[in-house]
Structure 1
Amino acid sequence: MKKPTLISTLTMAFIMLLSLTVTAQEFPDLNKSPMDAASFPSHYKESNKSVKIIYSRPQLKGRSLETLAPNGKQWRTGANEAAEITFYKDTDVAGTLIKAGTYTLSTIPGETEWTFIFSSDLNVWGTYFYNEANDVARVKGNVTNSDTSLEAFSIAFDDGGTMHLGWGNTRVALPMNIK
């Protein structure tokens, strides 16, 4: 067996170094508004879900909810991409039947109620490309206030299927009756 020469050893070392730098993956910093999901039934052992929502969780960071989601203006209901809600069964949402399927969800905040907009537009960023002609339903959810402030925007379902949105001291309830 032939001993490697200095040149062949340096060449192999250079090729190995080059291959390491070429294949090294750069990972971005953590997202400031990470994605989250809420579903009903909420229990992790229940795999037969009726509804699931995927959304991003912005933080208040000393700002007011009224600045980030102003009353009377359409809001993406989270951050980044539009929130997407999937109904696995036809569902009565606050008295309006919504067929099984996936929709984007945006809201219009208000003092005593929020308007929830379900749209057939998918894969959209925020509400920048919103087209009212693609609305599937608009329903109202009731607003209450809590003594506890939530720093991160959150969505959860209670045991009855009502979807709850919370941010700061604001809480919004949207009743759902799964068919």
Structure 2
Amino acid sequence: MKKILLVALAFATVQFSSAQVETPQPSPASKMEQKVGLTDVTVNYSRPGVKGRTIFGDLVPYGKVWRTGANKNTTISFSDDVMIGGKELKAGEYALFTKPNAGSWDIYFYTDTNNWGAPRKWDDAKVALTTTAKVEKLPFNVETFMILITNIKTNGASLEFVWENVMVEVPFTVPTDKKAVANIEKVMAGPSANDYFDSATFYYDNGKDINKAKMWIEKAVELSDKPRFWYIHTQALIYKKAGDKKAAKKAAERSLALAKEAKYDAYIKKNEDLLKTL
């Protein structure tokens, strides 16, 4: 009986220790995703509340680096290089720190994103970009801290920090024109070598029109900047299936030579095996 009670007690202890109480967080986490032009912008941060306190100049002291939110440092990511305050910020993810003052804020894009709050030891070498923005006083109070992306246009938007009776706006521009023109020119120039290769491979693998596959694989090889042994091996397979063994042998020999040059054993064997059938 005593043994049964001990087992039951142990089981109850395991059950109790694995239970987790979930309660609302004082500063709930938030994630904002916004496309600006053709650029993806994502902000991860926590949102503290005023809760009857004086925020700027008190809870958040003037002249000191702030995590720009609560809990883990706030992060922001850009899928493209952007321009902020006339300076370029490379695509990537950054910790977003600020130094509030009464009339302006300094905003820092910091390469180390794994800090609980501000870094214990600030490293200027990790500051990818710094800019300054003026403080605008609001005629009302905002209870919960917000980071917004507003004034969205084709080539840019504004990053806004809003809390208590303060708003700070940081405009940024994105390379929409450059990306759009590049996309248009690429499409208008016609299919790429990869497009032709994928199409030819699909037709070959699925028993479709072999003459179209032959035309497309030839185009893929022609458009390649340098000979690709896997392209030419596929070309040999297509030639063989199309009944042109002479062309298939020539392509297989070329692919074999290139595979040996690249020391790519799998394609060396594939070509050697193919040549035995020609």
Same fold (TM over 0.5): yes
Tell me how far 1:22 sits from its aligned partner. 5.6
1:99 aligns with 2:93: no
CA distance, structure 2, for counterparts of residue 125 and residue 71 of structure 1:
20
Matches within 5 A, 1:104-123: 104-123=95-114
Preserved contact between residue 53 and residue 85 of structure 1 (Cα < 8 Å): yes
Q: Which residue of 2 aligns with 1:154?
A: 146
Preserved contact between residue 79 and residue 91 of structure 2 (Cα < 8 Å): yes
- Paired residue secondary structure (1:68): coil
- Of the two, which has the highest radius of gyration? 2
> Which structure carries more strand by proportion?
1
- Paired residue secondary structure (1:140): strand
Preserved contact between residue 155 and residue 163 of structure 1 (Cα < 8 Å): yes
Residue by residue, what CA displacement relative to the aligned partner does 1:116-138 show, whole Å, maximum 9, x if unpaired? Answer: 01111121111142322211111
CA distance, structure 2, for counterparts of residue 32 and residue 49 of structure 1:
32
**Identity score, percent:** 28
Which amino acid is 1:21 matched to?
Q
**Range with greater deviation from structure 2 (28-37 or 83-92):** 28-37
Indicate how the Cα distance of structure 1 residues 49 and 27 shifts in structure 2: closer, same or farther if over 3 A, else same: farther
Identify the match of residue 166 of structure 1 among 144, 148, 162. 162
> Which structure carries more helix by proportion?
2
Which amino acid is 1:79 matched to?
A
- Paired residue secondary structure (1:26): coil
Indicate how the Cα distance of structure 1 residues 40 and 95 shifts in structure 2: closer, same or farther if over 3 A, else same: farther
CA distance, structure 2, for counterparts of residue 134 and residue 171 of structure 1:
26
Q: Which residue of 1 aligns with 2:30?
A: 36
Q: Which residue of 1 aligns with 2:76?
A: 85
Tell me how far 1:60 sits from its aligned partner. 1.1
- Consecutive unaligned residues of structure 1, counting only runs of 5 or more, are 1-6
Identify the match of residue 59 of structure 1 among 35, 44, 49. 49
Residue by residue, what CA displacement relative to the aligned partner does 1:59-92 show, whole Å, maximum 9, x if unpaired? Answer: 1111112212222111110011111111111011
1:137 aligns with 2:129: yes
Query: What's the C-alpha RMSD, in Å, of the aligned pairs?
Result: 2.5
Tell me how far 1:110 sits from its aligned partner. 1.7
Preserved contact between residue 39 and residue 49 of structure 1 (Cα < 8 Å): no
Identify the match of residue 176 of structure 1 among 172, 177, 201. 172
Q: How many residues align?
A: 165
Residue by residue, what CA displacement relative to the aligned partner does 1:19-72 show, whole Å, maximum 9, x if unpaired? Answer: 982685313422111111223338xxx9x7521111111111111122122221
- Consecutive unaligned residues of structure 2, counting only runs of 5 or more, are 176-278
- Paired residue secondary structure (1:133): helix
